[in-house]
Amino acid sequence: MNAPFPESPSPAPQGEPLHLLIAAPRGFCAGVDRAIEIVERALARYGAPVYVRHEIVHNKYVVDGLRAKGAVFVEELDEVPDGAPVIFSAHGVPKSVPAEATARGLDWLDATCPLVSKVHRQAERQIEAGRHILFIGHRGHPEVIGTLGQVPEGSVTLVETEEDVARLDFAPGTDLAFLTQTTLSVDDTASIIAALKARYPEINAPRAEDICYATSNRQAAVKAIAGDCELVLVIGAPNSSNSLRLVEVAQRCGARAQLIQRADEIDPAWLTDIGTLGLTAGASAPEELVREVVALIATIRPIREETVVTTEEKMVFKLPRQLMD
């Protein structure tokens, strides 16, 4: 993508400073950090090319950077040559994928976020206990496809909305459990869970909330700033569930909200008549893109930058054993 900055110096921006509220935490989570490091370490160990099934994380800037280092992104395993190393994305894959890779003798690494893997194991345990799973998530999302692929076909019903709950027709006494995608709206999911419990009071709940800490923390951080902002910019990809949820959270707090992937998508007209602008980034967006956006905004309006911290994150996930020596 072309650089978003003018090649020649432009006059210093004039006018009243724009109050820029930057949410924290924002950007990369521990699962994304781990997935990217897996690809980079695999490239160092095996040399290029290293194949990756699907985008390792939902961010074009990150994917393009890894591609430049020698990663090759494919949709399915039949695109991976025999003998080549292959990595599965952070969103998780159905059980059939590693089984196919093993059958072909491929050297594979699993970059599935450990918090997604936790949901996979919960799904297996619920089926072993004889329960039917009601899975709250977005149809077609890679994480949902991966989770449904952990258990026998027909043992899970996908629920996306409260209206879906109203349409369920399980008989009283049916042994049910619910699980959720990790990157959902905290508020929407709470409403759906409440509807499930109202309709099926005996439904089995997970021991701990499935929505991951990073998703919850980033939504809480946006809530902390959005009420003071006329506009909130969310840096993230259109196929990033957690980034789209940040846009929704800001809108529900009364702010206009805009999803952007890079600074050059900003329309200067957005900044003309506002006093306070919010800025955050989805869990797959690196901090470089945040600073790129801040730098571009500063060429349009003088800014007064303030970071609003709602919590500190210290989560770190271990790498696969194959990459530890």
Q: Tell me, yes or no, whether 314 lies in a domain.
A: no
Mean pLDDT value across residues 259-269:
97
Going by C-alpha positions, the residue among 228, 310, 322, 207 that lies closest to residue 276 is: 228
Going by C-alpha positions, the residue among 275, 235, 273, 240 that lies closest to residue 257 is: 235
- Return the percentage of the chain with pLDDT > 70, whole number: 95
Classified as helix, coil or strand, 141 is: coil
Q: Tell me, yes or no, whether 322 lies in a domain.
A: no
Q: Are residues 123 and 108 in the same domain?
A: no
User: How far apart are alpha carbons 262 and 264 in whole angstroms?
Assistant: 6
Domain ranges, residue 55: 30-113
pLDDT surpasses 90 at 14: no
Query: Chain-centre distance of CA 58, in angstroms?
Result: 7
Q: What is the pLDDT of residue 12?
A: 52
Q: Tell me, yes or no, whether 12 lies in a domain.
A: no
CA distances, 157 to each of 28, 153, 154, 165 (Å): 31, 10, 7, 10
Q: Tell me, yes or no, whether 123 lies in a domain.
A: yes
Q: Are residues 24 and 48 in the same domain?
A: no
Q: Are residues 271 and 294 in the same domain?
A: yes
Q: Which residues are annotated as a binding site for dimethylallyl diphosphate?
A: 58, 91, 141, 240-242, 284
Q: What is the pLDDT of residue 13?
A: 64
Q: What is the pLDDT of residue 114?
A: 97
User: How far apart are alpha carbons 109 and 33 in whole angstroms?
Assistant: 15
pLDDT surpasses 70 at 7: no
pLDDT surpasses 90 at 5: no
Going by C-alpha positions, the residue among 27, 85, 16, 15 that lies closest to residue 52 is: 85
pLDDT tens column, 19-49:
999 999 999 999 999 999 999 999 999 999 9
User: How far apart are alpha carbons 10 and 298 in whole angstroms?
Assistant: 11
**For the whole model, what pTM was predicted?**
0.92
Q: What is the pLDDT of residue 16?
A: 84
Beta bridge partners of 136: 159, 180
Residue 2 CB burial class (10 angstroms; 0-12, 13-18, ≥19): exposed
Q: Tell me, yes or no, whether 320 lies in a domain.
A: no
pLDDT surpasses 80 at 65: yes
Q: Tell me, yes or no, whether 315 lies in a domain.
A: no
Q: Tell me, yes or no, whether 72 lies in a domain.
A: yes
pLDDT tens column, 291-315:
999 999 999 999 999 999 999 999 9
User: How far apart are alpha carbons 171 and 192 in whole angstroms?
Assistant: 19
Q: Could you tell me where the beta strands, DSSP code E, fall in 211-320?
A: 231-235, 256-260, 276-281, 303-309
pLDDT tens column, 228-248:
999 999 999 999 999 999 999
Q: What is the pLDDT of residue 10?
A: 47
Q: What is the pLDDT of residue 124?
A: 98
Select which of 76, 143, 160, 287 is catalytic: 143
- How many domains are there within the chain? 3
User: How far apart are alpha carbons 211 and 184 in whole angstroms?
Assistant: 6
Q: Are residues 98 and 127 in the same domain?
A: no
Compute the mean pLDDT over every residue in the chain, rounded to the nearest whole number: 94
Classified as helix, coil or strand, 68 is: helix
Q: What is the pLDDT of residue 325?
A: 67
pLDDT surpasses 90 at 209: no
pLDDT tens column, 106-124:
999 999 999 999 999 999 9
pLDDT surpasses 80 at 63: yes
User: What CATH number is given to the structural domain containing 267?
Assistant: 3.40.1010.20
Q: Are residues 300 and 233 in the same domain?
A: yes
pLDDT-derived band at 105 (thresholds 50, 70, 90) equals very high
Mean pLDDT value across residues 279-302:
97
- Domain limit, last residue, from 147, 174, 199: 199
Q: Which residues are annotated as a binding site?
A: 29, 58, 91, 113, 141, 182, 212, 240-242, 284
Q: What is the pLDDT of residue 4?
A: 42
User: How far apart are alpha carbons 202 and 218 in whole angstroms?
Assistant: 32
- Give me the residue label for tokens 């109050």: 19
- Domain limit, last residue, from 113, 134, 150: 113
Q: What is the pLDDT of residue 115?
A: 97
Q: Are residues 133 and 109 in the same domain?
A: no
Q: Tell me, yes or no, whether 54 lies in a domain.
A: yes
pLDDT surpasses 60 at 77: yes
Strands 86-88 and 71-74: unpaired
- Domain limit, last residue, from 199, 234, 253: 199
Question: Does the annotation mark 163 as catalytic?
Answer: no
User: How far apart are alpha carbons 254 and 252 in whole angstroms?
Assistant: 5
User: What CATH number is given to the structural domain containing 36?
Assistant: 3.40.50.11270
Q: Are residues 151 and 174 in the same domain?
A: yes
Q: Which residues are annotated as a binding site for isopentenyl diphosphate?
A: 58, 91, 141, 240-242, 284
